[in-house]
Amino acid sequence: MPRERLSVVVTRRLPEAVETRLSELFDIKLRDDDTPMTRAELAQAVKSADILVPTVTDTIDAGLLAQAGDKLKLIANYGAGVDHIDVATARQRGVLVSNTPGVLTDDTADMTMALILAVTRRIPEGLAVMQSGDWQGWAPTALMGGRVGGRRLGILGMGRIGQAVARRAAAFGMQIHYHNRKRLRPEIEAALEATYWDSLDQMVARMDVISINCPATPSTFHLMNARRLKLLKPTAVIVNTARGDVIDENALTRMLRVGEIAGAGLDVYEHGTDINPRLRELKNVVLLPHMGSATLEGRIEMGEKVIINIKTFEDGHRPPDQVVPSML
């Protein structure tokens, strides 16, 4: 007698290929429209599902988990970051959590370099001139930016993505520096030609570009606070494709407005879609709608990892990408 299929609730629309494969394997409930679930809908989902497949737009906190019954056994997150999930409470309730690490490394690193170039070469300003029809022709001093070759890049967080950024930046002739919770092994450091800084303060004070590539944890909240941002050179640029609350957004906005920092490229924001309106007005800032991982290839690979985690769990084994509190 065939065993009953696991019930799986997916909270957002996923690429068609991923939804099709999930439907073939499980008793699946897909989202009809591409909007985040309400709190009430999430509460119903954790009560009714064996497996929940959330995304970064879903807050799975202790209060929500308290409403789950005994049926929920796995939260197979569609994404690498799990700061929106209370992993410790889930574990206490006997609910496993998995994620999709490593899939989006190259996509996010590509976007980091795109933002560095966009800010330093003033690409959005040039685009705006062309789209408005105001271009009067080439001029020797028009829209002059800065050359990235030879600049010092300080990478905050030298994991998979940070190292991928380092390799790309080195190809552009940038000097690679980094600060990390743990220093890289000597052979990796040598391969990247990267200089390690034990002191984050000392590193940021000497860099031309800062790239934020660390995860969101209690220890990284406002790691780039007002005091540390003031250490940056007035000619420096800061780029963030990691998590928004690593930077004090209000302090960053104030400093950009008065020219204490030359520019910023942001793909993530401290309060999600609630972005400081003054930040939107600035010409020395490039703002993107959290699209660092937005490639079809990457999103399908994320779905494949979700499926592997669920199938492995269904077969009675530990999901290969299980997240435990000690990892955070």
213 lies in the same domain as 92 = no
Q: Which residue has the higher pLDDT, 26 or 2?
A: 26
Domain-embedded: residue 2: no
What pLDDT is stored for residue 215 in this prediction? 87
Residue 3 has pLDDT above 80, yes or no: no
Q: Is residue 226 domain-shared with residue 91, that is, in the same domain?
A: no
Residue 237 and residue 136 share a domain: yes
C-alpha separations of 122 from 80, 165, 210, 284 in Å: 31, 20, 17, 8
Q: How far is CA 231 from the centre of its chain?
A: 24
More reliable by pLDDT, 197 or 328: 197
Residue 313 falls within a domain, yes or no? yes
Residue 119 domain flag: yes
Q: Are residues 171 and 261 in the same domain?
A: yes
CB 53 within 8 A of CB 31: no
Domain identity same for 199 and 93? no
1 is written with which tokens?
Answer: 């007698």
Per-residue pLDDT at 264: 98
Contacts of 46 (CB under 8 A, 6+ apart): 52, 60, 64, 65, 67, 68, 69, 72
What pairs with residue 60 in β-bridges? 85
* Beta-carbon contacts of residue 256 (< 8 Å; ≥ 6 apart): 263, 264, 279, 282, 284, 285
Distance CA 276, CA 253 (A): 8
Asked if 46 and 68 touch (Cβ cutoff 8 Å), the reply is yes
pLDDT tens, position by position, 287-297: 999 999 999 99
Tokens standing for residue 271: 């309060």
Q: Give backbone dihedrals phi and psi of 309, rounded to 5 degrees, phi first.
A: -65, -45
Instruction: Select the more confidently predicted residue: 34 or 247.
Output: 247
For residue 157, the model assigns a pLDDT of 97
Are 90 and 130 members of one domain?
A: no
Q: Is residue 157 part of a domain?
A: yes
**Residue 1, in any domain of the structure:** no
pLDDT digits (tens, 9 = 90+) for 38-60: 999 999 999 999 999 999 999 99
Residue 144, SS3? coil
* Whether residue 256 sits in one domain with residue 312: no
Counting beta carbons within 10 angstroms of the beta carbon of residue 44, is it exposed (0 to 12), middle (13 to 18) or buried (19 or more)?
middle
Report which DSSP code applies to 70. Answer: S
Separation of alpha carbons 174 and 155, rounded Å: 12
Give strand ranges (E) for the chain: 7-10, 27-29, 51-53, 74-76, 96-98, 152-156, 175-179, 194-196, 209-212, 237-240, 263-266, 285-287, 322-323
Identify the CATH number of the domain in which residue 246 sits: 3.40.50.720
Q: How many Å separate Cα 253 from the centre of its chain?
A: 20
Q: Is the pLDDT of residue 89 over 70?
A: yes
Residue 13 domain-assigned (yes or no): yes
Tokens of 252: 């960053």
**What is the average pLDDT value for the chain, to the nearest integer?**
95
Same domain, residue pair 46 and 114? no
Would residue 321 count as lying in a domain?
A: yes
pLDDT reported for residue 129? 94
Domain membership of residue 157 as a residue range = 105-287
Q: How many domains does the chain divide into?
A: 2
Residues 6+ apart with CB under 8 A from 225: 248, 251
Judge if 66 and 87 occupy the same domain. yes
Q: What percent of the chain has pLDDT over 70?
A: 98
Whether 112 and 88 share a structural domain? no
Angle, helix 105-120 to helix 123-132, in steps of 10 degrees? 70
pLDDT, position 1:
43
Decide if 7 contacts 50 (C-beta within 8 A).
yes
